[in-house]
Amino acid sequence: MGDKLEEFTVYANVSDDTAFRRGAKVVIIHQTGDNERVFCEGLSKGGRTIRKWIGLKRLRDFRVAFVHNSIKRRVPAYSREHAIQIADRCIVGGLNG
């Protein structure tokens, strides 16, 4: 069992993209320093799980949630407070980017 304090991650939905399905739930894996793009994992239009960089303007509905057991080894886990900070930066970057 992992540490219960670090079992949160940041999710978002895709509003429009060439590879991800519209409306697909993605997990944010890494964020750039300029706060304009993020590296995500989600479902492609063809039905496969893919990872790619995407602009924050193409994502919506950022939220913090528990890391699901099926992806726990593949995505970063944060404390709830740190995950909220990441989600807030994504929201601000998507609005101002």
Q: Model confidence over 11-23: pLDDT tens digits?
A: 999 999 999 999 9
Instruction: Report the pLDDT value the prediction gives residue 3, as an integer from 0 to 100.
Output: 53
Query: What pLDDT band is residue 51 in, cutting at 50, 70 and 90?
Result: very high
Could you identify the residue written with the tokens 């886990």?
77
In the chain the first and final C-alpha atoms are separated, in Å, by 39
Query: What pLDDT band is residue 52 in, cutting at 50, 70 and 90?
Result: very high
Return the percentage of the chain with pLDDT > 90, whole number. 55
Global confidence as pTM: 0.83
Instruction: Report the pLDDT value the prediction gives residue 1, as an integer from 0 to 100.
Output: 45
Number of compact structural domains in the chain: 1
| CA 35 to chain centroid | 13
**Which structural domain, as residue segments, surrounds residue 62?**
4-96
Is residue 29 packed enough to be buried (19+ CB in 10 Å), middle (13-18) or exposed (0-12)? middle
Model confidence at 4: pLDDT above 70: no
User: Of 95, 86, 79, nearest to 39 (Cα)?
Assistant: 86
Ramachandran region, residue 76 (left: φ > 0; alpha: ψ -120 to 50; beta: rest): beta
Model confidence at 97: pLDDT above 50: no
Cα gap 6→2, rounded to integer Å: 8
